């Protein structure tokens, strides 16, 4: 779309939306949010970017093919479940570590890595659909 | 680290006993398939790498399922709850002999399909994701066979449906889209019915764990509308399994995709429906099944006969096999209609036999078509003269699917007929025998018309310009299709000659389904009140 306003406004909007999607992803453990809705927000950001600058620019910006991102997310989620095997607990049991970095406790868990996997699956799969739809419109 | 195990409160909510490596076999097939599917998605553009990874992974899957079967046959049903939450709150994977047997047969079929696909699926099919879809299809099938939670079963049905949809449209010819729309729509109706029934069930029982449902059902039988619920489930799963009045999606779609995809579908999809029927009608609602027995018997007879007669009427070998799949489903339904350990054992045996043989049959006619015969019965190919070995192999499979000794189709037919006669269901026994006869005529007709009849020189010249007129063009048989075909046929012969092991396993599995004490005990500690 050849709109100067959109092209000027898109970069800050897109970066804010991606940031917000990550916030929603991390917030999702105890409050409304999570990987699925966070992923959808990120897809919305990428779609705006695509509308403003074209599909090719988005494909270059995300480096990997969207479906490869979805695959990586699925793999991450599956591996998060397999980690429990080492600790002799059933599949998908939530495991936590809280390393202290510079005096701040950072809780990390397999629940979180699972949710990041979901985020990546949603980003990859829905971006793939959105980009091919936009591509159809361009041509 | 994980919460300390010392707190007494935790034992009320969590599984605190350490999980052994052997118990991981319960979830391993599903998680393995999903993980490999994800990897294959990431290497989607590496055409050569994909089949290698997939075949190696499916070989591992066969081993995992074989070990699981061994584990279950040694120590009885095994349960693992996801996220260590105690059942019925955690989603339980409970594997009994039935599930393990089905999972192993499915893995063998998928491995055969993956090998055959090396020759049948071209580069563009690979790029569009044949192998990732295959792995996810296997994740769905394994999940359905291994789960012990009825809503989770629904989820695996969906996984199965989505990946089968992807496989069906691979290639995007208009006939495929046409088939896929019918297949997709009618299957979505079936899964929606399944979901509605599951919501209803949750409203009645307040639980989704199958073992929990099975032990609560006797107490609720007088007050709750369990008949309605069972009827809804039977309708939904009959659609999935392609039973008579609701099976029109199968003849409309199975002949459209690549032949390997048809082979996989014939081996996997309808059998998952049969498995779910067995699980729900025998394990969860045996009393209701008893009452619905005559209806099921009628459906079984009609499915068998329409399948057999439909097969007789076809002029396309793929469509013919589609109707044979249906008539086989009728025979399995007959066992469910009779009930009782003997009949269920027959159904289980029949399902396992059918998975192997139907896949092999599709591969065989695919090979025949590749050699120039095409799928039409109207064109004589003279395959018998040019490729006698292939013709004999196919004939063996035809014998097997018709239920003739010494192949695997013989034993389940004997078991089912005997069970029907024991139960006094003479009509059912008659229909079973008549179906065997019809199948024999249909396959005999296929063999006569398309294999035996010598090639007509004039039509051949007119039909396929540019090919040498005398005899078939001698092409090399692709080893990647021949090898799985030979292995599957050999398995059928082996099972036919030495049925004792599988017979014993099927009996044991059927007994465990009809008296599910061990199944319940593996989920809930023996004697525990709910």
User: What pLDDT does residue B39 have?
Assistant: 94
Give the ipTM: 0.90
Which chain B residues contact residue A90 at CB under 8 A?
A: 15, 19, 80-84, 90
Which chain A residues contact residue B21 at CB under 8 A?
A: 85
Nearest to B83 among A71, A75, A90 (CB): A90
Contact B256, B176 (CB under 8 A): yes
Q: How far is CA A68 from CA A36, A123, B91, B129, B132, in A?
A: 17, 11, 29, 12, 12
Q: What does the block give as tokens for B342? A: 């003997």
Poorest-confidence range of B5-9, B82-86, B320-324, B375-379?
B5-9
Give B454's pLDDT tier (boundaries 50, 70, 90). Answer: confident
Which chain A residues contact residue B27 at CB under 8 A?
A: 81, 91
Q: DSSP label at B209?
A: B
User: What pLDDT does residue B176 have?
Assistant: 87
Query: Closest Cα of chain A to B6: distance in Å?
Result: 15
Q: What does the block give as tokens for B138? A: 């296997």
User: What pLDDT does residue B147 have?
Assistant: 93
Nearest to B35 among A70, A75, A97 (CB): A75
Give B6's pLDDT tier (boundaries 50, 70, 90). Answer: low
What average pLDDT does the segment B89-100 reach? 91
Residue B497 exposed, middle or buried by CB count within 10 Å (0-12, 13-18, 19+): exposed
Percent of chain B with pLDDT over 70: 94
User: What pLDDT does residue A17 have?
Assistant: 96
Contact A74, A37 (CB under 8 A): no
pLDDT tens per residue across span B32-86: 999 999 999 998 888 788 999 999 999 999 999 999 999 999 888 998 888 888 8
How many angstroms separate the CA atoms of B506 and B161, rounded?
A: 28
User: What pLDDT does residue B29 have?
Assistant: 94
**What is the four-CA torsion angle of A31, A33, A34, A37, rounded to 10 degrees?**
170
What average pLDDT does the segment B294-313 reach? 94
Q: DSSP label at A86?
A: G
User: What pLDDT does residue B131 have?
Assistant: 93
- How many whole angstroms from its chain centre is CA B299? 19
B242, pLDDT greater than 60: yes
How many angstroms separate the CA atoms of B453 and B463, rounded?
A: 17
Nearest to A89 among B19, B44, B132 (CB): B19
Which chain A residues contact residue B18 at CB under 8 A?
A: 88-89
B465, pLDDT greater than 50: no
B363, pLDDT greater than 80: yes
Does the predicted TM-score (pTM) go above 0.95?
no
B120, pLDDT greater than 90: no
- Domain span at residue A74? 4-138
Percent of chain B with pLDDT over 90: 63
Q: List the 56-85 stretch of A: residues with Cβ below 8 A of B.
A: 65, 67-68, 70-75, 78-79, 81-82, 84-85
Give B159's pLDDT tier (boundaries 50, 70, 90). Answer: very high
How many angstroms separate the CA atoms of B341 and A23, rounded?
A: 56
Choose among A83, A79, A90, A112: nearest CA to B148: A90
Contact B284, B214 (CB under 8 A): yes
A113, pLDDT greater than 80: yes
User: What pLDDT does residue B471 have?
Assistant: 45
Contact across the interface for A85 and B24, Cβ inside 8 Å: yes
Average pLDDT of the residues of chain B: 88
Nearest to A90 among B40, B84, B132 (CB): B84
How many angstroms separate the CA atoms of A134 and A131, rounded?
A: 5
CB atoms within 10 A of CB B392: 13
Nearest to B19 among A72, A88, A96 (CB): A88
B526, pLDDT greater than 50: yes
Contact across the interface for A91 and B24, Cβ inside 8 Å: yes
Which chain B residues contact residue A129 at CB under 8 A?
A: none
**Which residue from B minimizes the CA distance to A64?**
B42
**Which phi and psi (to 5°) does residue B226 adopt?**
-70, -25
- Mutate which: B83, B89, B93, vs A, most A CBs within 10 A: B83
Contact B398, B506 (CB under 8 A): no
pLDDT tens per residue across span B14-41: 877 778 888 889 999 999 999 999 999 9
Please list the residues that pair with A107 across neighbouring strands: none
B197, pLDDT greater than 90: yes
Query: Closest Cα of chain A to B178: distance in Å?
Result: 22
- Mutate which: A64, A76, A91, A121, vs B, most B CBs within 10 A: A91
Contact across the interface for A91 and B80, Cβ inside 8 Å: yes
DSSP assignment of B444-512 equals HHHIIIIIISPP-HHHHHHHSTTS-SSS----PPPHHHHHHHHHHHHHHHHHHH--HHHHHHHHHHHHH
Q: What does the block give as tokens for B226? A: 């369990």
Query: Closest Cα of chain B to A65: distance in Å?
Result: 8
User: What pLDDT does residue B450 have?
Assistant: 85
Burial A95-125 (b: 16+ CB within 10 A, else e): beeeeeeeeeeeeebbbbbbbbbbbbbbbbb
Give B461's pLDDT tier (boundaries 50, 70, 90). Answer: very low
What average pLDDT does the segment A44-54 reach? 92
- Mutate which: B13, B28, B31, vs A, most A CBs within 10 A: B31
Average pLDDT of the residues of chain A: 90
B440, pLDDT greater than 60: yes
Contact across the interface for A78 and B34, Cβ inside 8 Å: yes
- How many whole angstroms from its chain centre is CA B15? 33
How many angstroms separate the CA atoms of B360 and B357, rounded?
A: 5
Q: What does the block give as tokens for A51? A: 């509308």
Start-to-end C-alpha separation, chain A: 12
Query: Closest Cα of chain A to B84: distance in Å?
Result: 5
User: What pLDDT does residue B150 have?
Assistant: 94
B469, pLDDT greater than 50: no
Which chain A residues contact residue B31 at CB under 8 A?
A: 78, 81-82, 91
Give B458's pLDDT tier (boundaries 50, 70, 90). Answer: low
Is residue A132 within 8 angstroms of chain B, CB to CB? no
How many angstroms separate the CA atoms of A107 and B2, rounded?
A: 12
Contact B442, B312 (CB under 8 A): yes
Contact B93, B519 (CB under 8 A): no
User: What pLDDT does residue B161 have?
Assistant: 92
How many angstroms separate the CA atoms of B277 and B235, rounded?
A: 9
Which bin fits A54, alpha (ψ -120 to 50), beta or left (φ > 0)?
Answer: left
Say if strands B78-81 and A100-101 run parallel, antiparallel, or are unpaired: unpaired
> If you search the block for the tokens 């709910």, which residue do you land on?
B530
| A104 three-state secondary structure | strand
Q: Mind spelling out the 3-state secondary structure of B246-262? A: HCCHHHHHCCCCCHHHH
Choose among B111, B153, B163: nearest CA to B133: B163
User: What pLDDT does residue B173 have?
Assistant: 84
> If you search the block for the tokens 């525990």, which residue do you land on?
B528
**Which residue from B minimizes the CA distance to A108?**
B1
Provide the residue ranges of all domains of chain B, joining segments of one domain with +: 18-461+476-523
Give B468's pLDDT tier (boundaries 50, 70, 90). Answer: very low
User: What pLDDT does residue A97 have?
Assistant: 83
Residue B414 exposed, middle or buried by CB count within 10 Å (0-12, 13-18, 19+): middle
Q: What does the block give as tokens for A137? A: 């419109």
B262, pLDDT greater than 90: yes
CB atoms within 10 A of CB B150: 24
User: What pLDDT does residue B276 have?
Assistant: 95
Give A14's pLDDT tier (boundaries 50, 70, 90). Answer: very high
**Which residue from B minimizes the CA distance to A89?**
B19
Contact across the interface for B31 and A85, Cβ inside 8 Å: no
H or E element: which one contains B126? helix B123-127
How many angstroms separate the CA atoms of B143 and B121, rounded?
A: 26
What average pLDDT does the segment B492-514 reach? 93
Give B358's pLDDT tier (boundaries 50, 70, 90). Answer: very high
Give B377's pLDDT tier (boundaries 50, 70, 90). Answer: confident
Choose among B2, B84, B27: nearest CA to A109: B2
Q: How far is CA B379 from CA B299, B353, B441, in A?
A: 35, 30, 19
Contact across the interface for B41 and A87, Cβ inside 8 Å: no
A104, pLDDT greater than 50: yes
Nearest to B31 among A70, A81, A87 (CB): A81
Give B470's pLDDT tier (boundaries 50, 70, 90). Answer: very low
Size of interface A-B (CB pairs under 8 A): 76
- How many domains does chain A fold into? 1
Q: What does the block give as tokens for B193? A: 């019915």
Query: Closest Cα of chain B to A61: distance in Å?
Result: 18
The residues on B that touch A, with CB distances below 8 Å, are 1-2, 15, 18-21, 24, 27, 31, 34-35, 37-42, 44-45, 80-84, 90, 132
Contact across the interface for A95 and B1, Cβ inside 8 Å: yes
How many angstroms separate the CA atoms of B415 and B343, rounded?
A: 7
Query: Closest Cα of chain A to B97: distance in Å?
Result: 21
Query: Closest Cα of chain A to B18: distance in Å?
Result: 5
């Amino acid at each position: 779309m050849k709109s100067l306003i959109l092209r000027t406004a898109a970069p800050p909007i897109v970066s804010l939306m991606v940031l917000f999607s990550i916030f929603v992803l991390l917030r999702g453990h105890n409050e409304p949010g999570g990987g699925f809705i966070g992923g959808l927000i990120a897809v919305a950001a990428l779609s705006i970017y695509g509308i403003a600058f074209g599909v090719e620019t988005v494909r270059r910006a995300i480096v990997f093919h969207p479906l490869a991102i979805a695959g990586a997310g699925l793999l991450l989620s599956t591996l998060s479940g397999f980690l429990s095997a080492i600790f002799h607990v059933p599949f998908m049991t939530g495991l936590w570590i809280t390393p202290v970095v510079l005096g701040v406790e950072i809780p990390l868990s397999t629940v979180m890595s699972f949710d990041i996997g979901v985020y990546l699956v949603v980003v990859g799969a829905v971006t793939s659909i959105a980009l091919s739809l936009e591509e159809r419109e361009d041509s | 680290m994980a919460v300390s195990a010392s707190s007494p409160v935790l034992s009320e909510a969590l599984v605190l006993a350490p999980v052994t490596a052997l118990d991981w076999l319960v979830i391993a097939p599903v998680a393995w398939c999903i993980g490999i599917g994800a990897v294959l998605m990431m290497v989607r553009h590496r055409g050569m790498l994909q089949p290698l990874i997939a075949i190696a992974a499916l070989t591992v899957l066969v081993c995992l399922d074989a070990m699981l079967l061994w584990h279950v046959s040694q120590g009885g049903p095994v349960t693992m709850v996801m996220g260590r939450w105690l059942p019925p709150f955690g989603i339980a994977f409970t594997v009994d002999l039935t599930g393990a047997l089905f999972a192993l047969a499915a893995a063998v079929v998928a491995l055969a399909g993956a090998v055959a696909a090396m020759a049948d699926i071209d580069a563009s099919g690979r790029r569009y994701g044949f192998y990732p879809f295959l792995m996810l299809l296997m994740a769905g099938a394994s999940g359905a066979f291994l789960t012990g939670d009825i809503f989770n079963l629904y989820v695996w049905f969906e996984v199965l449906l989505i990946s089968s949809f992807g496989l069906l449209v691979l290639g995007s010819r208009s006939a495929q889209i046409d088939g896929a729309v019918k297949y997709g729509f009618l299957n979505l109706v079936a899964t929606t019915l399944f979901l509605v029934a599951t919501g209803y069930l949750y409203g009645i029982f307040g639980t989704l764990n199958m073992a929990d449902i099975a032990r609560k059902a006797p107490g609720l039988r007088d007050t709750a509308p369990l008949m309605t619920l069972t009827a809804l489930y039977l309708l939904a799963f009959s659609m999935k399994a392609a039973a008579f009045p609701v099976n029109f999606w199968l003849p409309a779609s199975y002949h459209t995709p690549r032949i390997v995809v048809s082979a996989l579908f014939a081996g996997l999809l309808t059998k998952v429906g049969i498995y779910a029927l067995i699980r729900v009608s025998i394990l969860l609602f045996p009393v209701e099944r008893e009452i619905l027995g005559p209806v099921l018997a009628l459906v079984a007879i009609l499915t068998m006969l329409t399948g057999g007669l439909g097969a007789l009427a076809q002029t396309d070998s793929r469509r013919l096999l589609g109707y044979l799949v249906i008539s086989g489903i009728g025979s399995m339904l007959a066992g469910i209609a009779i009930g009782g350990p003997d009949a269920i054992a027959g159904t289980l045996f029949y399902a396992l036999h059918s998975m192997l043989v139907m896949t092999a049959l599709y591969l065989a006619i695919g090979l025949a078509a590749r050699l120039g015969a095409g799928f039409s019965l109207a064109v004589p190919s003279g395959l018998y003269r040019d490729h006698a070995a292939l013709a004999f192999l196919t004939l063996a499979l035809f014998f097997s699917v018709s239920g003739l000794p010494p192949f695997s189709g013989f034993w389940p037919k004997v078991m089912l007929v005997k069970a029907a006669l024991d139960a006094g269901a003479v009509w059912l026994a008659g229909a079973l025998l008549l179906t065997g006869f019809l199948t024999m005529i249909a396959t005999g007709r296929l063999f006569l018309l398309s294999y035996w009849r010598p090639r007509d020189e004039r039509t051949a010249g007119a039909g396929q310009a540019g090919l040498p007129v005398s005899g078939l063009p001698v092409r090399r048989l692709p080893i990647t299709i021949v090898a799985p075909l030979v292995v599957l046929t050999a398995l059928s012969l082996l099972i036919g000659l030495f049925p004792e092991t599988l017979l014993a396993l099927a009996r044991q599995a059927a007994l465990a389904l009809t008296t599910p004490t061990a199944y319940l005990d593996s989920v809930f500690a023996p004697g525990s009140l709910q």
